Structure 1
Amino acid sequence: MTRATDASAGATAPQPTAIPLNDPELADRLAGRMAQVDATLDEAVASTDALAHDAGRHLVAAGGKRFRPLLTLLAGELGDGADPRLVDAAVVVELTQVASLYHDDVMDSAPVRRGAPSAHTVWGNTVAILVGDLLFARASALVAGLGPEAVVLQSRTFERMCLGQLHETIGPREGEDAVEHYLQVLSDKTASLLATSARLGAMFGGCPPALVDAVTAYGEKVGVAFQLADDVLDVASSSSESGKTPGTDLREHVPTMPVLLLRRRVARGEAAPSDVELLARLDGDLSDDAALAAVVADLRDHPVLAQTRELAGRWAREAAAELEPLPEGSVRTAFADLASALADRAV
């Protein structure tokens, strides 16, 4: 789910490039507020305990585009973007995201995160899980200062993220369509936090309910598009582009849309013999780098990858349609451009 630089270096304020911004004044405002977010984030992960300090800063210092806090700040620009609560709200969603990554990487056995070794490969699974819990606690303390509505929203979002991970781990129930099950997992595990990021921004920007609901629905659909695009990138990109080893999810047999679409073809009797053979290899031992590279190469050339690209584009277009209630201007344009960029990201 995220990327970039050296975890041993100090964190630097990221430029707001995760969201396309064609308005220089808007870009400058967001860059300044992102510097405040970054400084507050550094304070939030600091600890007097040496191990907690080093492990807690690991992924923050590794960089990343800070996509979720940028979404919060951008949504705030629909109203009073200077409200100081927006910075704290942006830090809350980034802390929640980073904390979830510590847990995800343990469950997925992912060796790399944001271009740096995953925390569990440095300190072990137990420390990584406990540090993730610590960061969730820091997010909870910060959101408490934003009032009861924000606390309830954060808790419900955290619940959805946990349910999404649980349902991904257990898999679809007997008779349940695996593709629809997976889309619900994406909505809960990934899209819920993006929806909350946008909602908090619009709330603390003082926007009317219609705009708050619109950007929330937008964030939900953009989140699904974002993860479907990631499924494409897990197969189609290089390690330097994604910050993860290509085929990491395949190696760990984590469900992804291309594999689910291939599995559905086989189950329906619509598959060629080569599809059946490819699925058998995907379900087998992929610990060998050469075996993994071979299935990645075969999936890159398979129609199911194009189908996943189309699904990502469809969800991105549906996200853009939710922007209709927003006033014309640079903020709406930025949201629309983001949806287009996510569709393009999967190409």
Structure 2
Amino acid sequence: MDLALELSSFLGNVEQRLGGMLADGDAGPDVHGDTLMEAARHLCLGAGGKRARPLLVRLFGGAVGVAPERLVDVAVAAEMIHSSSLLHDDVVDAGMYRRARPTVNARWGNIVAVMSGDLILSTALLRLAELDARLGQSALSVVAEMTRAAIAEVEARGNLDLSLERLRYIAEGKTGSLFGWCGSAAATLAGQPEAAQRFDLFGRRLGVAFQIADDIRDVLGTDPGKPRYADVLSGTPSLPILLAVERDGSLRAKLKDAWAFTTINPERTRALGDAIEASDAVPRAIERMNQEIQGALDALGPYAHQGMGTELVDWAHKLSAGITAQARSRAA
């Protein structure tokens, strides 16, 4: 089968299984429907999700010869763990839109959003425990890491003195840890502990690069899913922001002053964002992103040339090429 068709078929099976996992459950007597699962479906199904994590599960599994049907439940669990974190993040950030539609908290309120996130997270972990106790245990560890990184991100709001090491810790915990789990889980099913270690490191470093790419898109305005300069508006010290103020004391003072207020008006947000883009922060951020990507590729070792390992390499290269092209287009 053609690779594109094979991956499309796999993701179709993931979509079908995900729909089944998010079907209405028993909400108790005298209740029609299931509000929590309805809210989960609103976020998870038909909302333009990239399905990056299920795709990674398939590629990692294909690099060590795991049959696709054995990977579907792992891929679904990865997507549900990710989705639960999005439901919680939108409450923390008071987000009103995600994937070009109202967030669950905007439509149903914070209580439903939090409890819906809890429900799909516990559903995913329970399924993993039934599938393979090792996967359930490792997933629990990842959820704990994601949670610590999420609170670290909240604590970092408005902090222009945040170290780049601390910022990387946040990116690895929020994104890289689950990317890495997608690989280690697939390798665990294959009974290949060396691959599990290599895949985990690859995923973690790729996840950090993935987060840097998102930070760069925010400055370039090339993320269709959110308004430009959202990090400036929310007081989030992204990598481009920290790199920009590192060399520009005047910009640091202006941004610090702006973040001292609860809200920033659109004109000031745009002026600050334009100053960040005009600095050398974007090319320096791309350089750091490429360092993470190279570290990820080095971690693959022999698996870079084995089965679908070549697709993992290609995916990493495409991430770098895409962001670089967007930056050049903006600079032209």
Q: TM-score, normalising length from structure 1?
A: 0.84
Residue of structure 2 in register with 1:258 after alignment? 240
Match of 1:154 among 139, 144, 148: 139
Q: Which moved more, 1:104-113 or 1:146-155?
A: 104-113
Match of 2:167 among 182, 187, 191: 182
Residue of structure 1 in register with 2:287 after alignment? 310
| DSSP 3-state at the match of 2:63 | coil
Task: Measure, in 1, the Cα distance between the counterparts of 2:252 and 2:83.
Answer: 37
Task: Measure, in 2, the Cα distance between the counterparts of 1:95 and 1:141.
Answer: 12
Contact map agreement 2:304 2:313 (CA 8 A) in 1: no
Residue of structure 1 in register with 2:72 after alignment? 87
Contact map agreement 2:215 2:238 (CA 8 A) in 1: yes
Summarize the Cα distance change of 1:253–1:70 in structure 2 as closer, same or farther, 3 Å threshold: same
Question: How many equivalent residue pairs?
Answer: 314
- Measured after TM superposition, the shift of residue 208 of structure 1 is 2.3
Residue of structure 2 in register with 1:217 after alignment? 201
1:136 and 2:121 are equivalent in the alignment: yes
- Measured after TM superposition, the shift of residue 273 of structure 1 is 3.1
Residue of structure 2 in register with 1:115 after alignment? 100
What do residues 219-261 of structure 1 show as CA deviations (whole Å, max 9, x unaligned)? 01000000011111111124xx431122223212123112223
Contact map agreement 1:72 1:199 (CA 8 A) in 2: no
- Measured after TM superposition, the shift of residue 312 of structure 1 is 1.1
Alignment of 1:224-263 (within 5 A): 224-238=208-222, 241-263=223-245
Contact map agreement 2:251 2:275 (CA 8 A) in 1: no
Alignment of 1:52-67 (within 5 A): 52-61=36-45, 62-67=47-52
Task: Measure, in 2, the Cα distance between the counterparts of 1:197 and 1:102.
Answer: 20
Q: TM-score, normalising length from structure 2?
A: 0.87
Task: Measure, in 1, the Cα distance between the counterparts of 2:82 and 2:127.
Answer: 14
Residue of structure 2 in register with 1:34 after alignment? 11
- Measured after TM superposition, the shift of residue 75 of structure 1 is 0.8
| DSSP 3-state at the match of 1:212 | helix
Alignment of 1:20-31 (within 5 A): 25-31=2-8
Contact map agreement 1:109 1:252 (CA 8 A) in 2: no
| DSSP 3-state at the match of 1:32 | helix
Task: Measure, in 1, the Cα distance between the counterparts of 2:260 and 2:287.
Answer: 25
Task: Measure, in 2, the Cα distance between the counterparts of 1:126 and 1:294.
Answer: 36
Match of 1:196 among 178, 181, 184: 181
Residue of structure 1 in register with 2:277 after alignment? 300
Task: Measure, in 2, the Cα distance between the counterparts of 1:188 and 1:210.
Answer: 22
Summarize the Cα distance change of 1:26–1:201 in structure 2 as closer, same or farther, 3 Å threshold: farther
- Measured after TM superposition, the shift of residue 82 of structure 1 is 1.9
> What letter is aligned with 1:345?
G
Residue of structure 2 in register with 1:339 after alignment? 316
Task: Measure, in 2, the Cα distance between the counterparts of 1:344 and 1:254.
Answer: 26
- Measured after TM superposition, the shift of residue 123 of structure 1 is 1.2
Q: Identify unmatched segments of 5+ residues in structure 1.
A: 1-23
Task: Measure, in 2, the Cα distance between the counterparts of 1:246 and 1:283.
Answer: 20
- Measured after TM superposition, the shift of residue 45 of structure 1 is 1.3
Task: Measure, in 2, the Cα distance between the counterparts of 1:330 and 1:294.
Answer: 48
Task: Measure, in 1, the Cα distance between the counterparts of 2:204 and 2:109.
Answer: 33
1:104 and 2:89 are equivalent in the alignment: yes
Whose helix proportion is higher, 1 or 2? 2
Summarize the Cα distance change of 1:125–1:345 in structure 2 as closer, same or farther, 3 Å threshold: farther
